[in-house]
Amino acid sequence: MTNVLTNRFHLKGAACDIQVYEQHGGYKALPKALKEFKPEQITEEVKKSVLRGRGGAGFPTGMKWSFVPKESKRPKYLVCNADESEPGTGKDRDLMRFDPHQLIEGMIIAGYALSSNTSYIYIRGEYWYIKEILEKAVAQAYAKGYLGKNILGSGFDHDLYVHPGAGAYICGEETALLESLEGKRGHPRLKPPFPAVVGLYGGPTVVNNVETLAVVPHIILNGGEWYKALGTEKSGGTKLFTVSGHVNRPGNYEVPMGYPLMSLINNECGGMLGGRKLKACIPGGSSVPILNAEDCEKMTLDYESAASVGTMLGSGGVIVMDETTDIFETTRNVTHFYKHESCGWCTPCREGTRWLYKVFERMHRYEGRPGDVELLYDLADKILGKSFCALGDAAAMPVQSAIKKFREDFERRIKHNIVQIQKAAD
Amino acid sequence: MRSNNAGCRFGVCQRKTDFMETVKLTINGQEVTAPKGELLIEACEMNGVYLPRFCHYRGLTPQASCRMCVVRVDNPKIPKLQTACTMPVTDGMAVTTDSQEIEDVRAAMIEFLLSNHPVDCPVCDRAGECELQDQTYGFGEDRTRSQYDDKDNYLERQISPFIYNDPQRCVTCKRCTRVCEEWMDENAITVLNRGASTVISAFSGWVECSDCGNCVDVCPTGTLLHVPYKYVARPWDLKQTPTVCNFCSDGCSVLAGTRGENLIRNVARDGRGRTAGGINHDFLCSLGRYTVDFVHSKDRLDRPMIRRGEHLIPTTWDDALQHVAQRLGELKAQHGGDSVGVISAARLLNEDQFTLRKFADDVLQTKHAEYYHDDDEIDLASFFRYGAPTIATQAHLQNADTILLIGSDPNEENPLTAFSIRWAVRQKAARLITVNAMPSRLERQANISLRVREGSEGAFVQALLDDAKLNDAAAALGVKAEDLQAVRKAVAESGRVVVVFGDELRGAAVEALALLESALAAPSAEAADAAKKAYIDALQRQVKSSNSTQKPSINENPYTYIVEHPTLEVGAEPVRTETKFSFLPLVRYSNTMGAGLVGMHSDDKGGMSAHAMINAAGGGIKALFIAGEDVVSKANGEASRVSTQLAKLDFLVVQDMFLTETAKLADVVFPVTSYAEAQGTQVNNGMQIQFVRRAIPPVGQARPDWMVVNQLAKLMGVDFGYQGQLKTIFKQIADAVPGCAGLSHNLLVNEGATQISLPQPEQSKINRADVLERLAGQVAKINRNVAVDAAALTAKAGTRLKQRYPQITQHSEMLTPELPQGVEAAAPAPLVFPA
């Protein structure tokens, strides 16, 4: 199996120390990038690698970088989105706690590519212990001269700060993250202008996921073509997947793009728990549409295949559910999450998620009324595509797909309406 | 009434566009034009297509949160529906606003909003002028799928002495928080919590702010409500009369809501977006909005009173008038006309001032008649000595390139001016320079802020005028010379400069302002020519557009005065002036300018000032006729001396709304009308003459000031020829007062605020050397060794208003509110709901 990002994971966190990291091939890419590449060439190399954003949207990273204007009156910024809050996802956590220098090295190279002198790691508030690991690593990098003024004699300056969030899911949305980083309430911003033009403190800003930035040193060392060849034609490289749920060995697994989903479940994860049958799978974190067993057979882990079965690769949080699972309950749980995390900015998301959850609640109590399933579907429809940012869509898609594919789980809640049953008993 | 545009529900939008570039776009298949860069929602409205909205409010930062104004842009590259409130129009754009798809979205958004709305319209004060109601009728479904148990319930609560908050009614449009931040720069209210628990509140749960109440005006629902208006009236019962506020000299228009004979509320903008069409658009301050209750105070004088020994005894008008006419006649015969003095309050309307002057001239034949003003007020006589320098209106201020604020704190004393300054800085990137001894919140907006020694503001004018004396002036001001140099350079290089000055500028410094134009003119001849040409072009366009627009007439429907420009517009044509410098003197009272203009001063006749008259009481002055002024309370620290002086008089007549300290000493007291009951004209600090409309009939037996004086004159054998009509008085004013020729009440009603233009100062007539010498003398007197006591100055800031309006502040319960029990002891904790 190809280990690109996880090739130092077997050290069990020893690579947090800069010397161990250097012994295992660390900080080789940075000198190479500074000496052999011009900033534009790095962006070109990343474009060649067909690296797509690993945070969820899958936007081509090289293209994102090239949107940043060359000349800017205000400073440019690079922000690492480490606010990993998607339910079912934990890949960035391991990337940061087992190999923080890989991320830091990637960020310095990315900063060089963007001619940005300041970068931030916006880390999820609950990852306070990882923040400490990162801060220690940053201090070591400063001490070794990989950060600070005139890095390795190249004349390039770069400062890196670690900033913790305060626990809002919406702050994983890139513009809300920037608002939060500026010290304001975490609300998404109006786009356009996109952050690449007007971002943090009004300066051009690139916001990338941890995994995306951690890949950069490998692309510099081995070339974009090499990275692309690891995966499929349109989705290059490898990706980390967090597998959770009813499997024998849940955890983070790095597999090449285009790897079949069922192989991931059956080989890497050791098959279904207790040998039970697969019922459903959410392939990319709670926000993406759910798959039934039939679709899972068809799906390979790349962006195109995901789209063909009507879901998305998202952040790579694979949630596996066996035949004992009530999909109504899982969807209710997901909806509670979105109701709780909606920031309250726009009408459909604020009121829609609240209303959705209210309906879920009464169905959960077996007090569902005839027409509630249709109501749920229609409410989700009214949220989908009308909300200010993608959180509304993320709340609506799981509901719609679950109703489409597992309608019987929903209908049961109405068929067995407790009020009617009591009436009949009386 | 202006023709109501078919698609427009809250007002008519036909803005002048002939000065800007336009683009062509297609709305629902019809090709239309719109100003370049205009937002699509506004462009649609200008062309008769009203798009529903909650969060969009012209002039505030786009928010795009209510999702009501979605449209389909007919462009395959834009697959999603777009919000029209964030999309600028571009040439060749094609949009659809009326498809089934869009109607469904609007209905869905209304359903979402109502899913957690209490729908308690029968007990909501906003019902009847509620945008949520209107939008639901216009764009919602006639049924909802939400059930009662779908709703979360929050308690209504009071969050400030003036504001009630019902979180459940909120549509979270955040107009209020944006107004608080962008108009007022206060950030007093904010949103708390997240998601469906989002509520509007203050950081501490109790709002600490200047209580301007604009957040309540712009609220589209009943979430925020005025405390004084709560459960008092329904909007459809109110008669809305556009009139002009009587407090500071800015002269804001208000919509006075009256029911029967009662004044219920003053708002700048009612729930349907109607404004009084004044210079303040939809802005109003705390004093103008919340002090309506003094009008119906139980302390109002309701009939004339006459002194019988120790006591003032109520009497009839006939008795009182007869008595006054007889006594004044006797004193005049005995001691001559000059033994009687007439003092008026600067807040009285032009018609009152003019009649009082006439009374003094023709009836009493005294030269002592003056409006009451303190020595530390702006010396308007010096300011206008050589002619009238260009006076800046609020529109000038909003379009200035540089604003120079010398002295005063407009935030407190002239809130509209402060608003205009903030607006100019925020929206037009104007440069603000403050020169002030006292701390002011406006310094936050300032590019350069000079905190100077108290009383040294005159040295700043000297530094502007004379580069050579800059170092000396810097020493006098207590600032660094390079800072002063930077200010001078900025002013010299700038385009239109508006000098806003308060009463800290004294004597020769005020006079020297007229010299600024010649000292710091436009940087080059070409620039001067270009400015001149732009001014003339603008004038011509103005003439053209005023000929083409149909003006409303008061006779058609004065009470539904819907205006074209409810809010300030960033894209509006800048107001230009002939000169580079224009001046906004922040005089103290609503009609200080007008009182001087109509001749209620004794400068040219050699009469005594109001203070001199009081001091001469018992000597040269045997009787005083005081209209509307409480001279005892206003004499800071000298109240007992002034009352002793007044006691020396043979005869004292006072006409006022309340039994003031002065009125208590009077021999006869006449009850007169407040601003809500009076009709006439007043002139604001921008030299704009405005029509004040009567909103309610006089309270009790009160009569307008001019009427009392007119009746007295008749009894004393002189007929002013008014024929009992206000219009006739104004005709006489128009004939007599320079700059008012051709004006009439009808014209003012139609035109709104009209600037009186007076001849510019003739530079050749100014004795430059003399002015500069006197200014130098003034500067030389400044004690440069005095250390600046910042704490004392801070304590002093914010105390001046109560001194200015003792009667109002005393008799308005809202200004000295009795808070709900326990509020002060423990402010309510911020609302945080369990998730």
| Chain B residues with CB-CB distance to A339 below 8 A | 195-196
Buried b (16+ CB within 10 A) or exposed e, B674-684: bbbbbbbbbbb
- Name every chain A residue with its beta carbon within 8 A of the beta carbon of B68: 347
Domain membership of residue B58 (yes or no) is: yes
Chain B environment of A382 (Cβ under 8 Å): 105, 108, 111-112
Please tell me the distance from the alpha carbon of residue A7 to that of residue A4, in angstroms, as a whole number: 6
For A346, the closest of B67, B194, B835 (CB atoms) is B67
Most confident of A400-414, B139-153, B484-498: A400-414
End-to-end CA distance of chain A: 64
B670 and B546 in a common domain: no
Q: Do B198 and A350 touch (CB under 8 A)?
A: yes
DSSP letter at A170 equals G
Q: Are residues B499 and B603 in the same domain?
A: no
Task: Find the helix packing angle between B100-115 and B131-139, rounded to 10°.
Answer: 140
Residues 6+ apart with CB under 8 A from B821: none
| Interatomic CA distance for residues A163 and A128, integer angstroms | 10
Among residues of chain B, what percentage have pLDDT more than 90? Answer: 50
Backbone angles phi, psi at B582, to 5 degrees: -135, 155
| Domain interval for residue B60 | 22-113
Asked if the model's pLDDT at residue B758 lies above 60, the reply is yes
Q: How far B105 CA lies from chain A's nearest CA (Å)?
A: 7
Average pLDDT of every residue of chain A: 93
**% pLDDT > 90, chain A:** 89
- pLDDT tens per residue across span A288-344: 999 999 999 999 999 999 999 999 999 999 999 999 999 999 999 999 999 999 999
**For residue B194, which residues of chain A lie inside 8 Å, CB to CB?**
168, 341-344
Same domain, B573 and B598: no
Q: Look at A424 and B298; give whichever has higher pLDDT.
A: B298
Answer whether A410's CB lies under 8 Å from A370's CB.
no
In this structure, how many other beta carbons lie within 10 angstroms of the beta carbon of residue B260?
10
pLDDT digits (tens, 9 = 90+) for B130-172: 999 999 999 998 888 888 777 888 888 899 888 999 999 999 9
pLDDT band at A102 (very low <50, low <70, confident <90, very high): very high
Contact A385 B195 (CB under 8 A): no
Q: Establish if A346 touches chain B: CB-CB under 8 angstroms.
A: yes
- A345 touching chain B per CB within 8 A: yes
**Residues of chain B found within 8 Å of residue A388, distances taken between Cβ atoms:** 64-65, 67
Residue B756, domain member (yes or no): no
- Tell me what percent of the residues of chain A surpass a pLDDT of 70: 100
Contacts of B152 in chain A (CB under 8 A): 354
> Greatest CA span in chain B, whole angstroms?
94
- pLDDT over threshold 60, residue A239: yes
Model confidence pLDDT, tens digit, residues B596-642? 999 898 877 888 999 999 999 989 999 999 999 999 988 877 889 99
Residue B112 and residue A358: Cβ atoms within 8 Å? no
Q: Report the gap between the CA of B101 and the closest CA in chain A (Å).
A: 11
3-class secondary structure, B21: coil
Packed helices A390-405 and A372-383: angle between N→C axes, nearest 10 degrees: 150
Name the residue among B66, B171, B195 with its Cβ closest to that of A342: B195
Distance CA(A170)–CA(A179), nearest Å, equals 11
A336 contacts chain B (CB < 8 A) = no
The whole-angstrom distance between A361's CA and the closest CA on chain B is 10
B61 vs B426: CA distance, rounded Å:
11
Whether B542 has a pLDDT exceeding 70, the answer reads: no
Spatial neighbors of B526 by CB under 8 A, at least 6 apart, are none
Chain B residue with minimum CA distance to A388: B65
- Listed residues B536, B556, B585: the one ending a domain: B585
- Is residue B472 in some structural domain? yes
Alpha-carbon B197 to chain mean position? 37
Give the CA angle between residues B392, B394, B399 to the nearest 5°.
85
In chain B, residues with a C-beta closer than 8 Å to the C-beta of A347 are 65-68, 109, 112-113, 171-172
Please tell me the distance from the alpha carbon of residue B752 to that of residue B775, in angstroms, as a whole number: 39
A80 vs A421, more confident = A80
Q: Across the beta sheet with B431-436, what order do the strands follow?
A: B448-451, B431-436, B402-406, B497-501, B581-585
The contacts found for B147-153 with CB under 8 angstroms, 24 or more apart, are B149/A358, B149/A362, B150/A355, B150/A358, B150/A359, B150/B115, B150/B116, B151/B115, B151/B116, B151/B117, B151/B118, B152/A354, B152/B116, B152/B196, B152/B197, B152/B833, B153/B118
Residue B562, pLDDT > 60, answer: no
Find the closest chain B residue to A385 by CA distance. Answer: B80
Question: Is B371 found in the same domain as B444?
Answer: no
Whether B391 and B457 share a structural domain: yes
Q: Whole-angstrom distance between the N-terminal and C-terminal Cα of chain B? A: 51
Q: Residue B496 has what pLDDT?
A: 87
Q: Which of A94-108, B182-196, B388-402, B812-826 holds the top average pLDDT? A: A94-108
Residue A111 near residue A21 (C-beta atoms within 8 A): no
Minimal C-alpha gap between B193 and chain A (Å): 9
pLDDT score recorded for residue B8: 34
* Residues of chain A contacting residue B171, judged by C-beta atoms under 8 Å apart: 347
- Which pLDDT score is estimated for B541? 62
- How many structural domains compose chain B? 3
Which among A340, A353, A358 has the least Cβ separation from residue B835? A340
**Over pLDDT 70: what percentage of chain B?**
87
Give yes or no for A362 touching B (CB within 8 A). Answer: yes
pLDDT tens-place string over residues B345-389: 999 999 999 999 999 999 999 999 999 998 888 888 889 888 888
Distance between A256 CA and the closest CA of chain B, angstroms: 32
Q: Give the closest-approach CA distance of B425 to chain A in angstroms.
A: 19
pLDDT digits (tens, 9 = 90+) for B63-85: 999 999 999 999 899 899 999 99
The reply to whether B29 and B52 lie within a common domain is: yes
Backbone torsions φ then ψ of B378, nearest 5 degrees:
-60, 130
Binary contact (B86, A185; C-beta < 8 A): no
Is some CB atom of chain B closer than 8 A to the CB atom of A131?
A: no
Select the more confidently predicted residue: A242 or B60.
Answer: A242
pLDDT at B825 (0 to 100): 40
B753 within some domain: no
Residue from B124, B75, B300 nearest B226 by CA: B124
Is B550's pLDDT higher than 80? no
Inter-chain residue contact B171 with A340, CB threshold 8 Å: no
> Cβ–Cβ of B116/A387 closer than 8 Å?
no
Q: Are residues B581 and B553 in the same domain?
A: yes
CATH number at residue B654: 3.40.50.740
Judgement on whether residues B556 and B617 belong to the same structural domain of the protein = no
Residues of B engaging A, defined by a Cβ cutoff of 8 Å: 62, 64-68, 70, 80-81, 86, 105, 108-109, 111-113, 115-116, 145-146, 149-150, 152, 171-172, 191, 193-198, 835
Q: Does the residue B202 lie in any domain?
A: no
B362 falls within a domain:
yes
Query: Is there a single domain that holds both residue B466 and residue B337?
Result: no
> B114: closest CA among B199, B192, B171?
B171
Determine the pLDDT at residue B3.
29
pLDDT at B638 (0 to 100): 87
Question: How is A362-417 classified by DSSP, letter by letter?
Answer: HHHTT---TTHHHHHHHHHHHHTTTSSSHHHHHHHHHHHHHHHH-HHHHHHHHHT-
CATH assignment of the domain containing B77: 3.10.20.740
Q: According to the model, what pLDDT value does residue B673 have?
A: 95
Read off φ and ψ for residue B39, nearest 5 degrees. -70, 145
Question: Is residue B808 a part of any domain in this protein?
Answer: no
Whether B537 and B458 share a structural domain:
yes
Dihedral angle over CA of A187, A192, A197, A199, nearest 10 = -10
Nearest to B112 among A340, A347, A388 (CB): A347
Measured between CB atoms, does A193 come within 8 Å of chain B?
A: no
**Among candidates B115, B149, B193 on the partner chain, residue whose Cβ is nearest the Cβ of A351:** B115
Together in a domain, B502 and B540? yes
Distance from CA of A209 to the nearest CA of B (A): 25
pLDDT of B724 higher than 60: yes
CATH number of the domain where residue B566 is located? 3.40.228
> A4 pLDDT exceeds 80?
yes
The mean per-residue pLDDT over the stretch B42-56 comes to 89
pLDDT of residue B530: 74
| Cα–Cα distance, A281 to A246 (Å, whole number) | 10
A347 and B191: CB-CB below 8 Å? no
- The beta-strand segments (E) located in B245-377 are 253-259, 262-267, 305-308, 311-314, 340-344, 369-371
Q: Find chain A residues with C-beta within 8 A of B116's C-beta.
A: 351, 354-355
pLDDT at B572: 63
Measured distance CA(B756)–CA(B391) in Å, rounded: 9
> Do residue B356 and residue B477 come from a single domain?
no
Choose among A342, A343, A347: nearest Cβ to B67.
A347
CB A55 within 8 A of CB A79: no
Residue A166 has pLDDT above 70, yes or no: yes
- The whole-angstrom distance between A62's CA and the closest CA on chain B is 22
The predicted model scores a pTM of 0.90
Q: Which of B113, B146, B179 is the last residue of a domain?
A: B113
Taking CA–CA distances from B88, the nearest residue in chain A reads A192
Helix (H), strand (E) at residue A122: strand A118-123
Would residue B322 count as lying in a domain? yes
Last residue of a domain, one of B522, B553, B585: B585
Residue-level pLDDT at B266? 92
DSSP bridge pairs for B633? none
Å between B43 CA and nearest CA of chain A: 20
Residues of B in contact with A350 (CB under 8 A): 112, 172, 195-196, 198
Model pLDDT, residue B807: 62
